[in-house]
Amino acid sequence: MSSTRNIRELSLPELKEYFESIGDKKFRAMQAYEWLWKKQARSFDDMSNLSIDLRKKLSEDFDFNAIKVDATQYSHDGTVKSRFKTHDNHLIEGVLIPTEKRNTACVSSQVGCSLTCKFCATGKMERKRNLDFDEIYDQVALLNDQSEKVYGKKLTNIVYMGMGEPLLNYKNVLKSIDRITASDSMGMSPKRITVSTAGVAKMIKQLGDDKVRFNLALSLHAPTDKQRDEIMPINETNTIDKLIEALNYFYEQTKNDITLEYILFKDVNDSLKDAENLVKIYRKIPTHLINVIEYNPIAGGEFIKPSEDATQSFTDFLAKNKVNVRVRRSRGKDIDAACGQLANKDN
């Protein structure tokens, strides 16, 4: 284990103290800080307006644990999936999803996941560790680079919907968003960021207490506790009633958008009775949208995608009952980049 400190954990005042302590000028701190956050340096060697001796000194006193692109895959629909390698050789995945109006980065918050949702490839992996805030930030920076190189425009949106449960890595997720939205960094609007959760009621309430400014998505995927228990073990301690209470509290405190995510599984949650039960939940939450999502098959999975007719009947029922519903067509299925498919498979 390294005994040196991660330089990106230092605030600007702390950097100024450091440079003073080594007999250098305070303005060096601002130069270094700009390299870390405004220019998204990948190493001390990138800091070209600092002397070679100073860069060497920084590398002796600090760690710079930037993640690197390990492999990239391109889908026929334009989606780009990247496998990233951390400084300690863990692998995670992130996805760039381009559309006519927006370019969205889907980022991971953990190495693996502990929640074992039955429809998710990441849920079949062991959770190795949480990602640090700067490793999450790096994914956004690298996906933004890809967006500019491949599509000629910057990211417009960020979703925390990759590997892991964001609310079980609460502090790092919030700190990464602070850095992404900071004016001395990427300066992205928090209204263009959505954090998706499988449903950790206590931490949803904490988001409300912390008055966060980003949007929230709940992966619901079943309209009753009995059904949800079967596919999402987290529901045993975070029941639908508890989640409804938590989401209402979150909205009261923040007034931020809430989306319900609902993957359709054939003969599991796609009946008109299921749609009726979903309408009841929708009416209890100040949610602005239900995203009905195509199921994406995974290795060893037990579910089947419903027919187009069944999907249409389900969404028609919601719409007739004044539910704002949208069918989200999966992107990047051919490279295992779609919802629920991230699992670090070999290319």
Q: Which residues are catalytic?
A: 93, 339
- Provide the angle, in degrees to the nearest 10, between the axes of the packed helices 201-209 and 240-254: 10
| The two three-digit tokens of residue 95, written as one number | 């996805």
Name 159's bridge partners: 106, 194
Q: 322-344: b or e for each residue (b if 16 or more CB lie within 10 Å)?
A: ebebeeeebbbbebbbbbbbbbb
DSSP 8-state assignment for residue 306: P
* DSSP code per residue over 143-180: HHHHHHHHHSS---EEEE-SSS-GGGGHHHHHHHHHHH
- Report the Cα–Cα distance between both ends of the chain, in Å, rounded: 31
SS3 324: coil
Q: Report yes or no: 80 and 146 within 8 Å, Cβ to Cβ.
A: yes
183/186 Cα distance (integer angstroms): 7
Q: Write down the residue that tokens 């949702």 correspond to.
A: 117
* DSSP code per residue over 22-76: TT--THHHHHHHIIIIIS--SSGGG-TTS-HHHHHHHHHHEE----EEEEEEE-T
Q: Are strands 193-197 and 91-98 parallel, antiparallel or unpaired?
A: unpaired
Question: Which among 196, 242, 238 is positioned nearest to 216, based on CA atoms?
Answer: 196
Q: Are strands 91-98 and 103-106 parallel, antiparallel or unpaired?
A: antiparallel
